[in-house]
């Protein structure tokens, strides 16, 4: 498969010290890759570097072979908060990304409706954010990120603000959406379980300064349901990730 994202010896230093230290990894086309590690290890900093929102102190990042040295347009982003415009309906919030990209929203309306159907939001196209649950709002945000079929989707703890049951349900929803869209995804999470359920590979980062300690390939069959949580291979992978960061933290 073709390499979509290459992170090569990237360091990032702020006034408070080193946030990311000599990080290197690749993400292949159509892969779902997660980054896990304790708070403050540089996970979100890495996403901002990949998006071109900040520049590395040293090293380089390439997306489809081109070095990232400014914000890149061919990327979809999903944050912990859905960041929906309260005066726009679900459909119009999804189409907003076409508008800000200088495209004719009407030409993307059919695609937006397809994504709404895929995300289980049929019937809520005309609903405003305050009429939607937190999980539904986040599904709108995911549809928005997918609308223009970007080269890369960056997700920064998109389910972190949701309750445990909704978070679990959203993980399965995202797995379903990704299996159809097949976009390349780089996903940041604190949850080892979430990472292993969703990912083809998990990048394990150490406590600050964040270094890539291990890259764990997840060769479990898809689709993955709750039954996989008791699978011996899943438990072994989970233990490997935990051992990789050298500490016990919530799954």
Q: Do the beta carbons of residue 46 and residue 21 sit within 8 Å?
A: no
Checking if the pLDDT of 27 tops 50, the result is yes
Helices (H), 119-191: 134-146, 164-181
The residue behind tokens 């990048």 is 203
Return mean pLDDT, the chain.
92
**Residues in Cβ contact with 33 at an 8 Å cutoff, skipping those fewer than 6 apart:** 25, 27, 185, 186, 187, 199, 200, 201, 202, 203
Checking if the pLDDT of 164 tops 90, the result is no
Q: Do the beta carbons of residue 188 and residue 47 sit within 8 Å?
A: yes
**Residues in Cβ contact with 225 at an 8 Å cutoff, skipping those fewer than 6 apart:** 172
Distance CA 219, CA 234 (A): 9
Percentage of the chain surpassing pLDDT 70? 97
SS3 of residue 187 by DSSP: strand
**Residues in Cβ contact with 61 at an 8 Å cutoff, skipping those fewer than 6 apart:** 5, 6, 7, 8, 10, 49, 50, 52, 67, 68
Checking if the pLDDT of 251 tops 80, the result is no
pLDDT of residue 48: 94
Selection from 76, 35, 44 nearest residue 198 by Cα:
35
Strands (E), 16-120: 17-28, 32-36, 58-63, 66-67, 75-78
Distance CA 204, CA 43 (A): 10
The residue behind tokens 């290890």 is 41
Selection from 214, 183, 213 nearest residue 198 by Cα:
183
SS3 of residue 224 by DSSP: coil
Checking if the pLDDT of 249 tops 50, the result is no
**Beta pairing partners, 11:** 58
pLDDT of residue 246: 60
pLDDT of residue 161: 83
pLDDT of residue 165: 87
Selection from 42, 138, 133, 124 nearest residue 91 by Cα:
124
Distance CA 149, CA 85 (A): 21
Distance CA 243, CA 182 (A): 30
- In the structure, what pLDDT confidence band is assigned to residue 248 with cuts at 50, 70 and 90? very low
Checking if the pLDDT of 54 tops 90, the result is yes
pLDDT of residue 137: 96
Q: Mean of the pLDDT values across residues 44-50? A: 95
């Amino acid at each position: 498969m073709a390499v979509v994202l290459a992170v090569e010896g990237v360091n990032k230093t702020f006034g408070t010290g080193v946030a990311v230290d000599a990080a290197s990894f690749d993400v292949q086309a159509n892969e779902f890759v997660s980054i896990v590690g304790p708070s403050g290890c540089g996970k979100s900093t890495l996403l901002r570097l990949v998006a071109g929102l900040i520049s590395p102190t040293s090293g380089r990042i390439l997306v489809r072979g081109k070095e990232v040295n400014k914000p890149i347009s061919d990327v979809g982003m999903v944050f912990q908060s859905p960041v929906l415009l309260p005066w726009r309906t679900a459909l119009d919030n999804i189409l907003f990304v076409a508008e800000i990209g200088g495209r004719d929203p009407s030409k993307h309306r059919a695609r937006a409706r397809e994504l709404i159907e895929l995300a289980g939001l049929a019937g809520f196209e005309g609903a405003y954010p305050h009429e939607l649950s937190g999980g539904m709002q986040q599904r709108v945000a995911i549809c928005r990120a997918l609308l223009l079929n970007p080269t890369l989707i960056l997700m920064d703890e998109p389910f972190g603000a949701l309750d445990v049951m909704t978070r679990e349900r959203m993980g399965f929803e995202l797995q379903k959406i990704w299996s159809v869209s097949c976009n390349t995804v780089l996903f940041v999470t604190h949850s080892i379980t979430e990472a292993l359920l969703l990912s083809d590979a998990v990048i394990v980062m150490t406590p600050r300064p964040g270094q890539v300690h291990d890259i764990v390939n997840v060769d479990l069959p898809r689709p993955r349901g709750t039954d996989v949580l008791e699978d011996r291979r899943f438990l072994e992978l989970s233990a490997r990730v935990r051992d990789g960061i050298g500490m016990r933290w919530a799954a």
